[in-house]
């Protein structure tokens, strides 16, 4: 049995965070929110985008006070905070807001979140070389695993298509990294026993190249000196 676990709602666009958070009041009628985040000074400016939005909505909130009685939980930050928020949420509505893509986006948050927000305004920029390496490695890994499928394949192919394109931007690389991580999270899942599958040839065909050419392009992305 295969699965592709996703949040109920995914927002991905610059400036989407305040719009997405309106649902807490308009749809879920939340009045109190627990906000779990990393206590790092460089996150304070972007964290203010969350707290200001909650204030404008008239929603009472507490930051990192785990005993705070709340209707919903927001995880904001790196993997540790997102996973801690997911664990604390329990049956409460859980919103994940990563500040970085890649391994720090958190597989647990992606699987458990009721809403996932990927907003360029809160994601810290990463060096282009680092994010390109991550896209290449993660997309390649997502093509071989216990649970790859047409769904993970399409995400991996699109991530690689953006990576190999000549006009990618910081924003498009951010989304490509997120897609590769989503594919990896689902394809490498061990929740369902299955024989290992290899969709590498399928990805190469979708990108209009041979498997050998795809491997070469991925290797060049990982190590441009090759």
* pLDDT tens per residue, range 22-34: 999 999 999 999 9
Q: Regarding beta strands 115-118 and 9-12, do their DSSP bridges make them parallel or antiparallel, or are they unpaired?
A: parallel
Q: What is the domain class of 9-118 according to CATH?
A: alpha beta
Residue 192 three-state SS: coil
Which pLDDT does position 147 carry in this prediction?
80
Beta carbons of 112 and 79 less than 8 angstroms apart: no
Mean pLDDT, residues 133-143 taken together:
91
Mean pLDDT, residues 78-85 taken together:
91
Which pLDDT does position 105 carry in this prediction?
65
**What is d(CA 109, CA 67) in angstroms, rounded to the nearest whole number?**
21
Beta carbons of 134 and 221 less than 8 angstroms apart: no
Query: Domain coordinates of the chain in residue numbers?
Result: 9-118, 128-222
């Amino acid at each position: 049995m295969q699965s592709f676990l996703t949040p109920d709602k995914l927002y991905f666009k610059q400036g989407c965070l305040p719009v997405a958070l309106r649902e807490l009041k308009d749809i879920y009628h939340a009045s109190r929110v627990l906000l779990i985040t990393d206590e790092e000074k460089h996150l304070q400016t972007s964290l203010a985008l969350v707290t200001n939005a909650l204030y404008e909505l008239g929603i009472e909130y507490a930051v990192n006070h785990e005993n705070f009685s709340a209707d919903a939980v927001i995880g904001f930050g790196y993997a540790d905070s997102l996973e801690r928020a997911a664990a604390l949420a329990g049956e409460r509505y859980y919103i994940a807001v990563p500040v970085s893509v890649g391994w720090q986006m958190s597989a647990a948050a992606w699987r458990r979140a009721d809403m996932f927000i990927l907003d360029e305004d809160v994601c810290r920029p990463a060096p282009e070389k680092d994010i390109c390496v991550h896209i290449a490695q993660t997309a390649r890994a997502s093509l071989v695993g216990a649970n790859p499928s047409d769904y993970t394949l399409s995400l991996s192919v699109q991530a690689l298509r953006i990576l190999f394109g000549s006009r990618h931007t910081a924003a498009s690389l951010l989304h490509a990294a997120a897609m590769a991580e989503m594919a990896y999270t689902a394809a490498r899942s061990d929740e369902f026993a299955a024989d290992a599958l290899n969709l590498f040839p399928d990805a190469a065909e979708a990108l209009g190249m041979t498997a050998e050419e795809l491997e070469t392009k991925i290797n060049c992305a990982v190590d441009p000196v090759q």
